[in-house]
Amino acid sequence: MAHTHQIKQQTNAFKIGVLLNSIFIVLEAGYGLSSNSLALVADAGHNLSDVLGLLISWLAVWLGQKSANSKYTYGYKSSSILAALFNAVFLLVAIGGISVEAIQRLSNPGPVGEWDVIIVAAIGIFVNGFTALLFMKGQKHDINIKGAFLHMAADAGVSLGVVLAGFIILSTGWYWLDPVVSLVIAIIILIGTWGLLRDAMNYSLEAVPSNIDEPAIRDFLLAQPTINQVHDLHIWGMSTTETAMTVHLCRSTLADNNRFLENLNKALSEQFPLTHITVQVELGKVNYETTDSSI
């Protein structure tokens, strides 16, 4: 029930976020073109990528709720990993486009409509900040939602920077500051995107999720009564919110094995953020030594 409520909250957050940012993109791009402000146009382009990212993340959340079948035995849970990876790559492309345009404009800066820049960017602080708040709670345990949160939070900060740049241009006439702000926007996006890209790549390569302490789990297993060896311990993210673990355990006895497994699964679930646990029990120890190395 709690999980269903969380999904409903996320769905509502996506609906509101996409609607608000879509309206703001039209407003920002229009004023950016009419006022000759590359900073506004660049930020509008980034906001467009954010809307597309929100849609992809939303699609991944929806797919994650679909039931497993004979072909996709885990369901479509890993779509959230693909969404996070796609968002990171898409943002890197956007960074390149913004940087090229800013460098070209920096060599030939022109006047901008300072008050248009200030007013529109101020609206952006509210829109992006409010959208980020919608994802603040969910981003703590899901890099797919975290990607949406970080993008919106970064955009709010960028909009604040654009407002400050607008006031400075208004008082000094430093028109070169507009493309410089665009480059700063690109750097901020890059910083926020790099962590998302790293985490998404790790999930895609089935690395141990960052919130999982593999040595602690191994030590916990070895500390269990009758366990004398742990091998083939594998931990990976099935999705951006669910973690699977498989392991082979060697016991000194197989007596009361069903109760042992039941208690172990319960203890692992309570102490570690694991959602799918598979344990295979063997008697004695496994000998890894190879007596013949010939091929």
Rounded distance, CA 28 to CA 117, Å? 9
Radius of gyration of the chain (CA): 25
Q: Is the dihedral of CA 273, 277, 283, 286 positive or negative?
A: negative
- In this structure, are 176 and 277 located in the same domain? no
Structural domain boundaries enclosing 70: 2-204
Q: Cβ contacts of residue 8 below 8 Å, gap of 6+?
A: none
- In this structure, are 187 and 49 located in the same domain? yes
- In this structure, are 245 and 136 located in the same domain? no
Q: Which of 7-11, 55-59, 98-102, 140-144 has the highest mean pLDDT?
A: 55-59
Q: Among the three residues 148, 177, 204, which one is the final residue of a domain in this structure?
A: 204
Residue among 91, 98, 89 nearest 51 (CA): 91
The answer to whether residue 209 is domain-embedded is no
Rounded distance, CA 257 to CA 259, Å? 6
pLDDT, position 256: 87
The answer to whether residue 141 is domain-embedded is yes
For 208, the token pair is 């141990």
Q: What is the pLDDT of residues 270-283, one digit of tens each?
A: 999 998 999 999 98
Q: What is the pLDDT of residues 24-66, one digit of tens each?
A: 888 878 877 777 776 677 667 767 877 887 888 888 888 878 8
pLDDT, position 246: 95
Q: Name the DSSP class of 71.
A: S
pLDDT mean across residues, the chain: 81
- In this structure, are 174 and 248 located in the same domain? no
Q: Is the pTM here over 0.85, yes or no? A: no
Say how many Å lie between the first and final Cα of the chain, rounded: 56
pLDDT, position 91: 76
Q: Is the pLDDT of residue 234 over 50?
A: yes
Q: Among the three residues 169, 204, 239, which one is the final residue of a domain in this structure?
A: 204
- In this structure, are 125 and 239 located in the same domain? no
Q: How confident is the model at residue 249 (pLDDT cuts 50, 70, 90)?
A: very high
- In this structure, are 151 and 230 located in the same domain? no
**Domains contained in the chain, number:** 2
The answer to whether residue 108 is domain-embedded is yes
